[in-house]
């Protein structure tokens, strides 16, 4: 089976202190750590499981700057075979345009399945993946939590609201967006990481591709969201904090 996995390098922001640049057009990125987008990591994991079960090869594709080579190399270390980076010569905000760029590269490759994450942890649009499927005229399924191959189709469980699961069958070739938690993630060995540093990454320049659509989306500015509540912060030493906490719980009739 030939599998393409579309991955993206994102800054880790869930546990980091985020501040805006003075012009409010970006976040301050200097101190942030970049890793593979969380959901894409599960897409990669799904590809690795498929390769183990059914054989074949995995090609990773990313659209990004030099930093993104790191996530390709991490993918190599885990077992991916090829890596392509489309050079992000200028920042593109419109996910439909990014999908077109990816499609213009992927349409020249041979594949049975494309996997991506459900959404990205930075912009959280959840558009690029399904738009890519449509530009390539492929059937698609989102929010995949379980997948098995049977002949030329896949049996899928996808996650809907409130813990509801939909089971469906989809023909190959197709595109799936993988939800986090589908499989436990593996870690690459130090030896494999070392070996991956010398592996070749195919670089494609944006200017070599034919794409015509103009960007429809622009960012006016970012702002830090206002608190919905007047949160009372409990401060002090550990002792004072826990005493206060107990006092509040007693007042509210919980203790």
Partner 1 sequence: MKEIIVFIEHRFSEILSNSYDALGFAYEWQKLYGGEISCLVLTSEGKKDIFNNLKDTVNKIYLLKNNLLENYHPELYLKALKDFLKEKNNYLFIFGQTGNTYELAPSLAVELSVPILTDINGIEKDNNQINFIRYFYGGKVSGKINIADFDKKPLILTIQTGSFKFEKKEINSEIMEKEISLDIEKNIEILEYKKEETGEVDITKADIVIGIGRGLRDKKNLPMVEELAKKLKGVLAGSRPAIDAGWLSKDRQIGSSGKTVKPKLYLALGISGAFQHIVGMKNSDLIIAINKDPNAPIFSVSHYGIVEDLIKVVPAFLKKL
Nearest alpha carbon to residue 84 among 229, 201, 218: 201
Minimum distance between the CB of residue 112 and partner 1, rounded to whole angstroms? 14
For residues 205 and 229, which CB has a smaller minimum distance to partner 1 in the complex? 229
Nearest alpha carbon to residue 68 among 14, 122, 110: 122
CA–CA distance, 196 with 71 (Å, rounded to integer): 11
For residues 6 and 99, which CB has a smaller minimum distance to partner 1 in the complex? 99
Q: What sign does the dihedral 240-243-247-249 (CA atoms) show?
A: positive
Question: Which part of the chain contacts partner 1 (CB under 8 A), choosing from 48-56, 81-89, 190-198, 233-241?
Answer: 233-241
CA 142 to chain centre: 13
Question: Which part of the chain contacts partner 1 (CB under 8 A), choosing from 84-92, 189-197, 198-206, 239-247?
Answer: 239-247
- CB burial string 87-109: b at 16+ within 10 A, e below: bbeeebebbbbbbbbbbbbbeee
Structure token digits, residue 35: 């890793």
Q: Which of residues 3-32 bind partner 1 (CB under 8 A)?
A: 11, 13-18, 20, 27
Query: Could you say whether residue 164 binds partner 1 (CB under 8 A)?
Result: yes
Which of 36, 72, 84, 99 binds partner 1 (CB under 8 A)? It is 99
Which of 148, 166, 186, 187 binds partner 1 (CB under 8 A)? It is 166
Count of Cβ atoms closer than 10 Å to residue 55 Cβ: 8
Binding mask 106-145 for partner 1 (x = CB under 8 A): ------------xx-xxxxxxxxxxx-xxx---xxxxx--
For residues 13 and 199, which CB has a smaller minimum distance to partner 1 in the complex? 13
Residue 49 preceded by cis peptide, ω within 30:
no
CA–CA distance, 29 with 52 (Å, rounded to integer): 37
Which of 167, 198, 207, 212 binds partner 1 (CB under 8 A)? It is 167
Query: Could you say whether residue 190 binds partner 1 (CB under 8 A)?
Result: no
Structure token digits, residue 119: 């959404």
Q: Which of residues 59-98 bind partner 1 (CB under 8 A)?
A: 94-96
């Amino acid at each position: 089976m030939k599998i393409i996995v579309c991955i993206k390098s994102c800054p880790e922001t869930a546990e980091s202190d985020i501040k805006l640049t003075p012009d409010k057009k970006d976040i301050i990125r200097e101190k942030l750590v970049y890793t593979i987008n969380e959901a894409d990591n599960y897409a990669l994991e799904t590809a690795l499981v498929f390769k183990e079960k059914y054989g074949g090869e995995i090609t990773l594709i990313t659209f990004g700057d030099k930093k993104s080579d790191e996530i390709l190399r991490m993918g190599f270390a885990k077992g991916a075979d090829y890596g392509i980076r489309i050079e992000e010569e200028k920042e593109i905000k419109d996910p439909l345009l990014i999908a077109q760029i990816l499609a213009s590269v992927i349409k020249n490759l041979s594949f049975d399945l494309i996997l991506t994450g459900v959404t990205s942890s930075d912009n959280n649009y959840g558009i690029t993946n399904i738009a890519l499927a449509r530009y390539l005229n492929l059937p698609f399924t989102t929010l995949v939590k379980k997948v098995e191959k049977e002949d030329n189709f896949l049996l899928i469980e996808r996650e809907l609201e409130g813990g509801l699961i939909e089971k469906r069958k989809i023909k190959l070739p197709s595109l799936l967006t993988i939800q986090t938690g589908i499989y436990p993630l593996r870690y690459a060995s130090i030896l494999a990481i070392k070996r991956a540093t010398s592996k070749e990454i195919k670089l494609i320049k944006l200017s070599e591709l034919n794409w015509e659509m103009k960007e429809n989306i622009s960012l006016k500015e970012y702002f830090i969201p206002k608190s919905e509540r007047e949160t009372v912060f409990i401060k002090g030493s550990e002792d004072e904090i826990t005493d206060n906490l107990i006092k509040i719980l007693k007042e509210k009739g919980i203790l």
